[in-house]
Amino acid sequence: MSNVTQRFEGYGALITGAARGIGEATARRLAAEGARVLIADVNDEAARKTAADIPGAESFRCDVGDRSQVEAAVAYAVECFGSLDVLVNNAYSCSLDAPLIEDQSDDSWERDLNITLTGAFRCARAALPALAATGRGAIVNIGSVNGEQDFGNHAYSAAKAGLASFTRTLAGDVASRGVRVNQINPGTIRTPGWAGRDAEMARLAETVYPLGRVGEPEDIAAAVAFLASRDAAWITGTTLRVDGGLLAVNMAFPAVVEAR
């Protein structure tokens, strides 16, 4: 990425679930703007591979479901970079729904909430002292349109909705310490989780997305970079939709009306 403003020169950033997809794109974007980034992921091999391809990046195996691993990741970031200025909570779990809600297991429900929602809490709790110490700390949580509207996945959707609430309450709690907290709600993004489903992606782009395409990881990375930067210095407690117009425009309704 050439001719990019160096908004994050001297910054240290920790990104969870950063070995691939949105997390990887975000790491590349922040690094391109001057940050040193810690690729934190439960997949240690993939994290090391991604970090090796990003100048100045480090990797760390981190399961956000484990408090000790989260605290170790934060300590490692501070040790490597001298400060921690940005935390991006991107790690998540999304279990398949059972055909009937009464058949949904406690384990799948609890895993999605533990990783997606409580994991973000663990990371924020561990990182806040370091973030507050810089005077420019920012947390960006990666939510989902699933937290606002029904697209299936009960537990994942509940966790993402809870994450939006946590974003607001945490923003109020830490504002006096100079830390901002915001959230991004992506729509369908072309990540490895959608691999092999090109036909579905094409139908989604044509039938439900007003802008005529699904999102790319770089679309979310650009939004993260804005909210984490001083360009957003007077923004906190907000949730930004980056969804191609999905939730704002009902494409099915006018199609039916015009067909009458």
Give the domains, in start order, of the chain with CATH numbers. Answer: 12-195+215-243 (3.40.50.720)
Q: Which residue, 4, 85, 95, 18, is CA-closest to 57?
A: 18
Confidence (pLDDT) at 106: 95
Tell me what pLDDT residue 5 has. Answer: 83
**How far apart are the C-alpha atoms of 64 and 149, rounded to whole Å?**
26
Q: How deeply is 156 buried, as exposed, middle or buried, from its count of CB atoms within 10 A (0-12, 13-18, 19+)?
A: buried
Identify whether the C-beta of residue 221 lies closer than 8 Å to the C-beta of residue 140. no
Give the tokens for residue 100: 């009937």
> Catalytic residue at 156?
yes
Of 11, 76, 92, 160, catalytic: 160
pLDDT reported for residue 3: 59
Q: Residue type at 47?
A: A
Predicted local confidence at residue 257, as pLDDT: 83
38 Cβ neighbours under 8 A, 6+ residues apart: 12, 13, 14, 15, 18, 57, 58, 59, 60, 73, 76, 77, 80, 81
C-alpha 31/C-alpha 29 separation (Å) is 5
Per-residue confidence of the chain (260 residues) as pLDDT tens digits? 455 689 999 999 999 999 999 999 999 999 999 999 999 999 999 999 999 999 999 999 999 999 999 999 999 999 999 999 999 999 999 999 999 999 999 999 999 999 999 999 999 999 999 999 999 999 999 999 999 999 999 999 999 999 999 999 999 999 999 999 999 999 999 999 899 999 999 999 999 999 999 999 999 999 999 999 999 999 999 999 999 999 999 998 887 886 55
Q: Give the CA diameter of the chain.
A: 65
Give the tokens for residue 39: 């690729």
pLDDT at position 260: 54
- Residue 194 · residue 151 · CB < 8 Å: no
Give residue 201's pLDDT.
94
Question: Is-catalytic flag, 160?
Answer: yes
pLDDT at 252: 83
Q: For 92-129, how does the pLDDT look when each residue is reduced to its tens digit (9 = 90+)?
A: 999 999 999 999 999 999 999 999 999 999 999 999 99
Q: What confidence score (pLDDT) does residue 45 get?
A: 98
Which pLDDT belongs to residue 254? Answer: 81
* Residue tagged 């930004």 (tokens): 240
